[in-house]
Amino acid sequence: MTSKDNRADVRDFLASRRGRISPEQAGLPPGGRRRVPGLRREEVAVLAGVSTEWYTRLEKGHIAGVSEDVLVAVARALRLDDEERTYLFDLARAARPSGRLRGCRGPVPVPPQVQWMLDAMTMSAAVVTNGRWDVLADNALARALYAPMLANGTNVARYHFLDPGARHFYADWEAAATTVVALLRAEASRYPCDEGTRELVAEMGAASPEFRSRWAAHDILLRNHGTKTFRHPVAGPIELAYHSMELPTSADAPHLLTTYTAAPGSAAEDQLRFLASWATEMSDTMTPS
């Protein structure tokens, strides 16, 4: 990512967050008629304790060299949540020469021990992805659960936006799509010179209006967990709890482990058992006799 690209991200993020706060919410007088919603730049400057000229320069993307104390004050003025605050600091680090170097990383193979761990997780569908959601490793239950996606590719984000079947596979496609984009936005800020992520964002932005609108919203997500309902073509609708976490396979490894599980004794657990049996049958039919 070039410094110009970084400046655009800073500008769009700060402007979007300024636009969602009313003067009343910030404890300021309405200030007469406004052409656009939200705070004016000079009002954010007052709230952050900096000059209007300084804040205007920051919102134009000149974030390199800005002190941590000032960033904290701006984050407070814009009422950023923890994830948005982290994103702002990531943008500042990426704008520094040392930050750009730190933000570069190449592909790291998944160690065989990780695959052994996945294979041992017989009642959890488990996948290992990189930050841009390429599936790098999985277990048999994950291959069964994600069969509709894996039949056409191995990138979760691309499947969401470029495969028409995703709208049926995910019971709440809108929420799932928003989550994917928010995770990609956070990844792009942490590793701005990751060429693969940039190419993926450009590809989906050119092909999908739904992706473009979500990308422009600058929503951020660093922690990914909750429940998700799939409309599986074999098992039917199945609601699973999911959780994603970083795998410390090496200092620069971009590996994320995501597991899908069901509550003991639930109907979803029975469906997972059925999927596990189906996966075994499929594997047996594909194995040469």
Please report the pLDDT score of residue 34 as a whole number. Answer: 75
Torsion (CA) 234, 237, 240, 243 in degrees, nearest 10: 80
Spacing of C-alpha 197 from chain mean position: 11
Please report the pLDDT score of residue 191 as a whole number. Answer: 80
- Nearest CA to 281 out of 143, 89, 119 is that of 143
Please report the pLDDT score of residue 4 as a whole number. Answer: 47
Question: pLDDT-derived band of residue 5, with 50, 70 and 90 as boundaries?
Answer: low
User: What is the distance between the alpha carbons of residues 90 and 218, in angstroms, rounded to a whole number?
Assistant: 14
Classify residue 266 as left (phi > 0), alpha (psi -120 to 50) or beta. beta
List pLDDT tens digits, range 187-220.
888 887 788 898 999 999 999 999 999 999 999 9
List pLDDT tens digits, range 76-110.
999 999 999 999 998 998 887 654 444 566 677 89
Please report the pLDDT score of residue 253 as a whole number. Answer: 67
- Answer whether 258's CB lies under 8 Å from 242's CB: yes
Least confident of 91-95, 153-157, 281-285: 281-285
- Answer whether 17's CB lies under 8 Å from 84's CB: yes
